[in-house]
């Protein structure tokens, strides 16, 4: 009986590794696919709409981001659904659903304040001004093609949590320890955003997301926090001008 259990656990481990590898491959293909597919898609949009290159660019990028993230997420869901024990990274009881949601909401505030601390460090030590070019570019695309908001706020966070928290962190934490797994996954998470001046901010986010997953043993905790963070940043950025005018009017009234 003991030998049978050992063999079964070994087979499950191999299956987990295959699933993790397939999800990672899907994510990598999605990231690099724009090099080959974005230009033909851009020409297709121009030909079908009659728009100029400049007018079609944000529409093309917005729709491409939305579609590529959606397809990658669907494929990842299919892969992980087929492996029934893929999410059983930790032994023991998982946190209850209400506490999972509570930690997810709390995690949003932890990440938000963590970013504030990181921004202060960047400014004090490295002289890096606030504001992310990566965020600005994405928001500009969202303004041109609102469909991209789905990818920014929903598809992207879920897919990134699958890859960086379950595939990378979840694989490493089973053979090393929390800190090694969290730091490695957080650094990869930071690098993939290609905003190297703010790598500290993204690394802090990655560490907190890993902590939330580790704390509750449920990936939905970090997903909730990640969606709330991206949603908040997108909402603020899309309404930056009205908010600025409101604050100016508020100052005049004082």
- How far apart CA 47 and CA 89 sit, in angstroms, is 49
Buried b / exposed e along 10-32 (16+ C-beta atoms within 10 A): eeeeeebeebbebbbebbeebee
Is 160 catalytic? The answer is: yes
> Annotated catalytic residue: which of 42, 193, 198, 214?
193
Is 193 catalytic? The answer is: yes
> Annotated catalytic residue: which of 160, 161, 214, 226?
160
Q: Note the helical H segments in 129-216.
A: 133-144, 148-150, 156-160, 170-173, 178-191, 199-216
Taking each helix axis as running N to C, give the angle between helix 97-121 and helix 219-238, from 0 to 180 degrees, rounded to the nearest 10: 50
- How far apart CA 90 and CA 217 sit, in angstroms, is 6
Query: Is the C-alpha dihedral spanning 205, 206, 208, 209 positive or negative?
Result: positive
162 close to 80: Cβ distance less than 8 angstroms: yes
Q: From residue 103, give the alpha-carbon distance in Å to each of 26, 96, 98, 120.
A: 29, 10, 9, 25
- How far apart CA 9 and CA 119 sit, in angstroms, is 44
> Phi first, then psi: what are they for 173, rounded to 5°?
-65, -20
- How far apart CA 194 and CA 22 sit, in angstroms, is 23
Catalytic residues: 160, 193
């Amino acid at each position: 009986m003991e030998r049978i259990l050992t063999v079964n656990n070994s087979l499950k481990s191999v299956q987990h590794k295959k699933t993790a590898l397939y999800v990672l491959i899907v994510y990598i293909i999605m990231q690099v696919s724009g090099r080959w597919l974005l230009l033909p898609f851009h020409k297709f949009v121009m030909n079908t709409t009659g728009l100029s290159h400049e007018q079609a660019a944000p529409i093309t990028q917005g729709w491409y981001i939305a579609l590529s993230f959606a397809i990658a997420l669907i494929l990842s869901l299919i892969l992980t659904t087929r492996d029934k024990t893929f999410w059983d990274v930790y032994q023991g009881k998982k946190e209850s659903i209400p506490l999972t949601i509570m930690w997810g909401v709390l995690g949003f505030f932890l990440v938000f304040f963590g970013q504030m601390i990181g921004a202060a460090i960047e400014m004090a030590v490295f002289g890096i001004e606030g504001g992310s070019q990566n965020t600005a570019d994405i928001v500009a695309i969202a303004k041109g093609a609102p469909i991209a908001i789905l990818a920014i706020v929903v598809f992207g966070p879920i897919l990134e949590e699958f890859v960086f928290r379950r595939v990378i962190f979840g694989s490493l934490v089973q053979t090393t320890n929390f800190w090694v797994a969290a730091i490695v996954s957080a650094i990869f998470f930071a690098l993939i955003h290609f905003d190297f001046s703010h790598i500290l901010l993204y690394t802090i986010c990655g560490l907190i997301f890993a902590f939330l997953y580790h704390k509750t043993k449920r990936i939905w905790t970090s997903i909730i926090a990640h969606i709330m963070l991206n949603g908040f940043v997108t909402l603020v950025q899309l309404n930056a001008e009205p908010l600025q005018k409101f604050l100016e009017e508020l100052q005049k009234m004082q």
